[in-house]
Amino acid sequence: MNIEMIRAAAGRLHGAVRETPLLSSPALDAIAGRRVLVKPECLQHTGSFKFRGGWSAVSALPPEALERGVIAYSSGNHAQGVALAAQRHGAPAVIVMPSDAPAVKIANTRALGAEVVLYDRAGEDRDAIGAAIASERGLTLIRPFDEPLVIAGQGTTGLEIARQAAATGVTRAEVLVPCGGGGLSAGIALACEAEAPGLRVRPAEPEGFDDAARSLAKGSIQRNTRLSGSLCDAIVTPQPGNLTFPILARLAGPGLVVSEEAALHAMAMAFAHLRIVVEPGGAVALAAALFHPDRIAGDTVIAVCSGGNVDAGVFARALSMLEDA
């Protein structure tokens, strides 16, 4: 896993991926007490950065593998990313999703032409289910984060951040990244190491699901005790990946941990001041930037909003935190 793989992924993604802008607002700067730059990957195709990794992996497959198809297991955003990438390549896609994933994610994945197989997040092993179907049908399994081609795709977010930050005159900043298995954090960290060494990645997680923060603090992979029950479903994984953790341990941290309440509040601030829709898991980095300024260094912070696929009911809860609700 190295920067050349990220650059190669950027070449394959060119013209297919949307280059998301860097947003900002005087109101957010005032709340955080420093300049806040937001990378809104919720505006990416399928509503999250996962399209980058999906496209990176699918576009690297040989024709015969594309014809047989791909399979992915995902709480939703990776599902949609892989489904759209497969559809655009004319490849069949099977997506194994937890039965408690947001309805909008399941519906959107089916709308992208994928076959959805549901499983029980608490009682069944998605890896085993995915592997069985893959072997039966000859499908290529596209892992959500512990896969070099996927990390490379997510890393293209970091190439954009490095270029856009430099264009804004920012060469030193902490880059807060919502972290599940660590693919996006690791990819951005590798990209910044090569292109913008003054930018340091800090993974952000919700309370109770802070495996990356604890792993970084301890220096070895730690597991979450719970695997479901978070509003931040998009970034709940059992533990950091075997490929991603060593990258994070070398280049990123310490981790930042925020409450679900803070994530909802950050969604409300993104609604009011950036006019973007962010999902709870995608808002944890912005929450850390806005509501935990004492844990962050420097006069500028960059927060990645990693996704925007959220049920209307959950979004309404976030809106209810605003004065004019």
Q: Is 276 in the site for a second copy (CB under 8 A)?
A: yes
Distance CA 259, CA 206 (A): 6
Q: How many CA atoms lie within 13 A of 198 on its CB side?
A: 13
Q: Is 31 in the site for a second copy (CB under 8 A)?
A: no
Among 268, 285, 289, 302, binds a second copy (CB under 8 A): 268
**Tokens 């070449």 belong to residue:** 11
Q: Is 275 in the site for a second copy (CB under 8 A)?
A: yes
Q: Is 164 in the site for a second copy (CB under 8 A)?
A: no
Binding span for a second copy by CB under 8 A among 132-140, 146-154, 233-241, 316-324: 316-324
**What is the total count of residues that contact a second copy (CB under 8 A)?**
39
- Between 51 and 245, whose beta carbon lies closer to a second copy? 51
270 and 278 in contact (C-beta within 8 Å)?
yes
Shortest distance (Å) from residue 40 CB to a second copy: 8
- Between 96 and 278, whose beta carbon lies closer to a second copy? 278
Tokens of 116: 């959805």
Among 43, 129, 227, 249, binds a second copy (CB under 8 A): 43
249 and 292 in contact (C-beta within 8 Å)?
no
- Between 245 and 315, whose beta carbon lies closer to a second copy? 315
Binding span for a second copy by CB under 8 A among 2-10, 198-206, 248-256, 317-325: 317-325
H or E stretch covering 97 = strand 93-98
121 and 143 in contact (C-beta within 8 Å)?
no
Distance CA 196, CA 189 (A): 10
H or E stretch covering 208 = none
Shortest distance (Å) from residue 193 CB to a second copy: 28
**Tokens 């969604």 belong to residue:** 267
Please list the residues that pair with 290 across neighbouring strands. none
Shortest distance (Å) from residue 119 CB to a second copy: 21
- Between 113 and 298, whose beta carbon lies closer to a second copy? 113
296 and 174 in contact (C-beta within 8 Å)?
yes
Q: Is 324 in the site for a second copy (CB under 8 A)?
A: yes
206 and 279 in contact (C-beta within 8 Å)?
no
Q: Is 14 in the site for a second copy (CB under 8 A)?
A: no
Tokens of 57: 């992996």
Binding span for a second copy by CB under 8 A among 15-23, 133-141, 236-244, 292-300: 15-23
Report the candidate in 52, 74, 19, 32 with the shortest Cα–Cα distance to residue 285: 32
Binding span for a second copy by CB under 8 A among 117-125, 156-164, 251-259, 264-272: 264-272
Among 14, 33, 67, 103, binds a second copy (CB under 8 A): 103
Report the candidate in 136, 135, 127, 133 with the shortest Cα–Cα distance to residue 114: 133
Shortest distance (Å) from residue 269 CB to a second copy: 12
284 and 310 in contact (C-beta within 8 Å)?
no
Q: Which amino acid does the sequence have at 71?
A: I
- Between 142 and 268, whose beta carbon lies closer to a second copy? 268
Residue 322 DSSP symbol: S
Q: Is 122 in the site for a second copy (CB under 8 A)?
A: no
CB atoms within 10 A of CB 3: 17
Interface with a second copy by CB under 8 A: which residues? 18-21, 23, 26-27, 30, 42-43, 47, 84, 102-104, 108, 111-112, 268, 271-272, 274-278, 308-309, 311-313, 315-316, 319-320, 322-325
